[in-house]
Copies of this chain bind each other. A is one copy, B any other.
Amino acid sequence: MRRKVTLKQIAKELDVSISTVSKSLRDSPEISEDTRQKVQAFAKLYNYKPNNIALSLKNKKTKTICIIIPEIIHHFFTTVISGVEHVANEKGYNVIVCLSDESFDKEVINMEMLANGSIDGFIMSLSKETQLKKDYHHITEVINQGMPVVMFDRVTNDILCDKVIIDDFLAAYNATQYLIDKGFRKIGLISTVDYVSVGKHRTDGYCKALQSNEIPVDDKMILKIEDTNDFEKEIEQLFQTTDLDAVFAVNEIFAVTAIKIARKIGKKIPDDLSIIGFTDGIISKYSSPSITTVSQNGVKMGEKAAKMLIEKLEIEDDDFEEQYKTEVIETELIERESTK
């Protein structure tokens, strides 16, 4: 059976990145003439068909939308999917889900694969690697060819499109202020590395709350986790090199792991250490103790994103005017057993 050659295979064969192949096929001036010619010749030889979105868009509606999420471990993303499904089905649209697994290449591949007329539009949250690289050419490409994209949660200012976010800064500020109001002064932060946009905003909110209360920000009390597969040791080190009375963690897996490590080194929750998480998922609800948390309202985010996308899809050509909105979804603090 003769198979269709993929972007990935071309990249591997020519020993260049997927992004380079993708840009070369689109005659991007970012790529050297030599590389462009090489990629294009190879693609032609092996019968690679670049997508022709503009062609398919006008005549064919698939009534299908795609949501691209970075991963499926955090319950938050599954709640967003539920919200998207809810509104989409009500309006007669199917939903397909793709995982980027936090990989730039997988994000590019998924978008290329589906933007060929298989779907009408994208709802997406950026992968970590995409945020690190700041390479959004695949998204620009899709938008330029007339396919609407709505970003949620992990978004970027570098792309003009509809967005659904929470005010991560404010939510983190409020959570930190809550701990300060309870009388805590030695408040640690377990966050992500700064290139993850939401992690950065939450870190900023935490710092601002401390500063507003004239509590100095101590870098030793701030842990920024990069590798989410192996961070238990880092948390243990944080707890052993500092004398914290409270912790704000920017997701529920960090929060529940902090509880586990605190227990391991003999600290009682919440008696010795109060912990606030982020995301009101099933872990926060069922963990022992249950976790006080900032609720992100993922279902509402998903519903809103689907509404915005479908609105764009169903607009008549004549009414069309390029206008982008950013919707901010309200968050709330849910008090449970992990804070005293």
Residues in A lying within 8 Å of B, measured CB to CB: 1-4, 6, 8-9, 58-64, 66, 72-73, 78, 81-82, 85, 89, 92, 94-99, 101, 106, 109-110, 113-114, 118, 256, 282-283, 286-290, 316-317
Contact = CB atoms under 8 A, between A and B. Distances in A.
Nearest to A59: B2
Nearest to A2: B59
B8 A92 contact: yes
A96 B119 CA distance: 12
Contact of A101 (B85, B101, B110): B85
**What number of copies of this chain does the assembly contain?**
2
Say what secondary structure dominates the interface of chain A: mixed
A256 B287 CA distance: 11
Given A98-B96, A286-B286, A72 B62 contact: no
A64 B64 CA distance: 17
A89 B106 contact: yes
Nearest to A98: B96
Contact of A61 (B3, B59, B78): B3
A286 B256 contact: yes
A298 to B, nearest CB: 12
A229 to B, nearest CB: 13
Contact of A6 (B59, B63, B97, B316): B63
